[in-house]
Amino acid sequence: SPVGQTPVGRIDTESINRLVKTMERSQATAEKILDSAERLFATKGFSATTIKMIAAESHQNSALIYYYYNSKAALYGHVLNRVVGKIASEAASRITAGSRPQDVISAVVESQVAVLTANPHLPILLARELIDWKAAHAEPAIRSLSAGLFERLRGAIEAGQLNGTFSAGIDP
């Protein structure tokens, strides 16, 4: 191929680097939108929060928010999934394969405290979701959490019952 040109079907290093930077900026923009939406949904509630408000707080335009999330309801679902993901991820980082049953329970509780303390608006957001919507928007995120973290917690309780650490009278 001629000097300075890349053969068809091959990508040069500079093009790859530009693509990576674009993807990083895109991820940062999505996170900025989620951060703003999370704060506004917590303080104002789902119904009172508008895409325009989220756009203003995140310093993005409304069209870009719709590009990333299609609708306010979809954005709200992403916010709730991210909240649940933070808790699950924090718990997973504290639990090892060899964790004793009581350590698993402590890790789950400590992870919730750590995430909620680091993000003081999250308890309000979760309370609003439960009160205003009876957790309807959070159902997919809760199912995901149930399949992973809560199942691990149930298994720890059962293991603790079998080894005598916990009372057999507890129904996991």
Q: pLDDT value at position 135?
A: 85
Percent pLDDT > 70 in the chain is 94
Q: pLDDT value at position 18?
A: 73
Measure the CA–CA gap between 134 and 29, rounded to whole angstroms: 30
The tokens describing 157, both together, are 């309780």
Per-block mean pLDDT, blocks of 10 residues, the chain (172 long): 57 75 83 96 95 97 94 95 91 93 95 93 91 86 84 92 90 76
Measure the CA–CA gap between 77 and 165, rounded to whole angstroms: 38
Measure the CA–CA gap between 124 and 127, rounded to whole angstroms: 5
Rounded to two decimals, what is the model's pTM?
A: 0.77
